Structure 1
Amino acid sequence: MPATPDPRAAAVLMLFGVLDRTPSERPAAAPAVHRDLDVLLLARASTLRSHPGEVAFPGGRVDPGDPDTVSAALREAREETGLDPSGVEVLGTLPAVPLAHSNHLVQPVLGWWREPTPVRVVDERESAAVFRTPVADLLDPANRGVTVLRRGGQEWRGPAFTVRSDQGDHTLWGFTAMLLDALFDRLGWSEPWDEARELPLPAPRRT
């Protein structure tokens, strides 16, 4: 992806664990993906100016007081979801991804939720929902597709997922979907899905 000369450092936490509620109703094709394997996600508030209503990993900019990107990802996850970072085992980091449109260089931090703690919406001005999604559901071809963004005569197509929370269905797309899609492919978890199937983009923010 294209980079900018002086990007701002950011980090996201890709946190996997064992569901404490209802597991997926379907077995994944990959033997390593158990029905109760999940990933932590949040839905951003629809009133935000940046990426309103989008489903994302916990994360944000690296602050001056953060020792490194791992610390930043854990701090942001605590501030956004209320989780206890001491229960998170950091497995490592993935290559940083440049986001030219927002002038950020984002470091994905991969974690295992060794000792899960309750999560919630900490600040309603920032998040509309915080939820744990079964990985087997994300891998379900029925929940996979693409989103198509058309601007200025150009078209951008990218992987997308339908995810469900207590607040209803969401379309997971853009940067977060790209990371999940690449990770699933790298781990050999992906199942064949219809790359021509379009999923709806979130409705535009009302002013």
Structure 2
Amino acid sequence: MRMDFGPDSPGENTRLAPERAPRWMRSLLSDVTRARAHPDVRGVDARGRSGPVKADRSAAVLMLFSGADHLQADPPQDAALLLTHRSPSMRSHSGQIAFPGGRVDDTDLNAVDAALREAWEETGLDRTTVTPVAELEPVHIRASGYPVHPVLGHWHTPGEVGVASPTEADDVFPAYLSDLVDPRNRLMVGWSGWKGPAFTINDYLVWGFTAGLISALLHQGGWEQEWDRETTLDLQDTLAKSRNNEPRYSDPGNRVRFLR
């Protein structure tokens, strides 16, 4: 069901403010700043500011953490990441779990502006409730080679979100960090010579670009628990057991077995 939300405020709240991040996120920001890369995602690094980006074929995604500030360095019990399920009718990445985001427009001031605008279009997110805290170096998507600019934010005043554009996303939900770090929800999947980390959340399979970024952030934040990286499951079989409904990978005619 589509939900109606108020208007966006383009061009507002586009400057990074890492000093306003909650205490439990500061170890993550420190580690992201130092890290040049991680085995699960290449090219992850943090910028101290957000500059202009070229609209041509560039995209931006919002990695939005919720969870109140408190005195401890550990995330609170309600800490979560905002995720969406892309509509199976989409032309690209249909049925996949993703961060809110999309193409950078010519009118966007920078990647933060683009990520917040896209999050509003998909989920109705009020950008004034978000503190942008870091912009990661662009990550190039394996399938297209196009650069994606990940923006890390803290949802300091969570409000109502939902399905604002059913043609883009048909589900919007929080993925709690307690579930993401649980080894029972973590796995490795592979397909056609590729393999990478994945998560099972709400009967969905989170894999690919999104799962790689989440895995890197959990590791760099110091929140990761030991999990089975040695066993690689077939992506097709694993997707068939999920409710992703990804046509490209669910179609038996497109089935390709992963080879170790």
Structure 1 residue matching 2:167: 3-state secondary structure: coil
Aligned to 2:198: 160
Aligned to 1:193: 227
Aligned to 1:77: 119
Residue 184 (structure 2) aligned to one of 133, 142, 158 = 142
Root-mean-square deviation over aligned CA pairs:
2.3
Specify the code of the residue in structure 2 equivalent to 1:18: G
Distance 2:113 2:216 in 1: 24
Structure 1 residue matching 2:105: 3-state secondary structure: coil
Asked if the contact 1:8/1:103 (under 8 Å) is kept, the reply is no
1:88 aligns with 2:88: no
Alignment of 1:43-192 (within 5 A): 43-150=85-192, 155-164=193-202, 169-192=203-226
Aligned to 1:22: none
Aligned to 2:39: none
Alignment of 1:23-42 (within 5 A): 32-42=74-84
Aligned-pair CA distance for 1:10? 0.9
Structure 1 residue matching 2:163: 3-state secondary structure: coil
Asked if the contact 1:54/1:172 (under 8 Å) is kept, the reply is yes
Asked if the contact 1:16/1:39 (under 8 Å) is kept, the reply is yes
Asked if the contact 1:73/1:109 (under 8 Å) is kept, the reply is yes
Aligned CA distance change for structure 1 residues 81 and 204 (closer, same or farther; 3 Å): closer
- Name which one, 1 or 2, has greater alpha-carbon Rg: 2
Moved more, 30-39 or 169-178: 30-39
Distance 1:109 1:38 in 2: 16
Aligned-pair CA distance for 1:103? 3.3
Distance 1:119 1:192 in 2: 33
Q: Which runs of 5+ in 2 are unaligned?
A: 1-41, 44-55, 252-260
Distance 2:208 2:142 in 1: 13
Q: Which runs of 5+ in 1 are unaligned?
A: 20-29
Asked if the contact 1:148/1:158 (under 8 Å) is kept, the reply is yes
Asked if the contact 1:34/1:136 (under 8 Å) is kept, the reply is no
Distance 2:137 2:166 in 1: 31
Q: How many residues align?
A: 186
Structure 2 residue matching 1:184: 3-state secondary structure: helix
Dislocated runs of 4+, deviation >2 Å: 201-204
Equivalent pairs: percent with the same residue? 44
Aligned-pair CA distance for 1:34? 2.2
Aligned to 2:258: none
Specify the code of the residue in structure 2 equivalent to 1:73: A
Higher helix share: 2
Aligned-pair CA distance for 1:185? 1.0
Give me the TM-score of the superposition, normalised by structure 2.
0.67
Asked if the contact 2:84/2:100 (under 8 Å) is kept, the reply is yes
Higher strand share: 1
Distance 1:71 1:45 in 2: 23
Distance 2:73 2:232 in 1: 26
Asked if the contact 1:146/1:159 (under 8 Å) is kept, the reply is yes
Give me the TM-score of the superposition, normalised by structure 1.
0.83
